[in-house]
Structures are given as C-alpha cells and as structure tokens.
Amino acid sequence: MIHQRMRIDLSQPESIEYWTRTLNINPEQLKAAVNKVGNIAYEVMDYLGGELEDRNGDESLFYYRKPQ
C-alpha cells in the first residue's frame, strides 16, 4: 500500500505547493505529469527523470534529486 503522503492530490492547494517546491517544477508541469502517469509521487518523479532519497527510513523525510 502506498503511504498517503506519497500521493499527489491536485485538489489540495497545500499538496500542489508542497510537490511543486519539492520537485522544483511549476503547477502546470505537476498537473501534466500527474495526468500522464497518475498521482503516485514515485511514478511522477520517475517520469520527470529524478530520484528520491529516503533520509529517515520511513518516508517522513526525503529529498528529491532532479536530473542534471
């Protein structure tokens, strides 16, 4: 089961703000990625070509590394 925190909820402004900041993309790019691959954050990150590093062991603190 995917942790709820790892889902991107486009109906929630806080979620859009969080994920656009985390992924360093604009809201339109986020919406396009979610529409293409779904709302699972890992799948969106994979689609964008970056990597997610879990720095806390429980997905409560992670860092997205954008591709160069």
pLDDT, mean of each 10-residue run, the chain (68 residues): 71 94 91 96 85 54 56
Are 64 and 51 contacting, i.e. CB atoms less than 8 angstroms apart? Answer: yes
The residue segments making up the domain with residue 44 are 4-65
* Number of separate domains in the chain: 1
Query: Would you state the pLDDT for residue 31?
Result: 97
List Cα–Cα distances, 30 to 6, 51, 53, 55, 57, in angstroms. 14, 16, 19, 23, 26
pTM for this predicted structure: 0.71
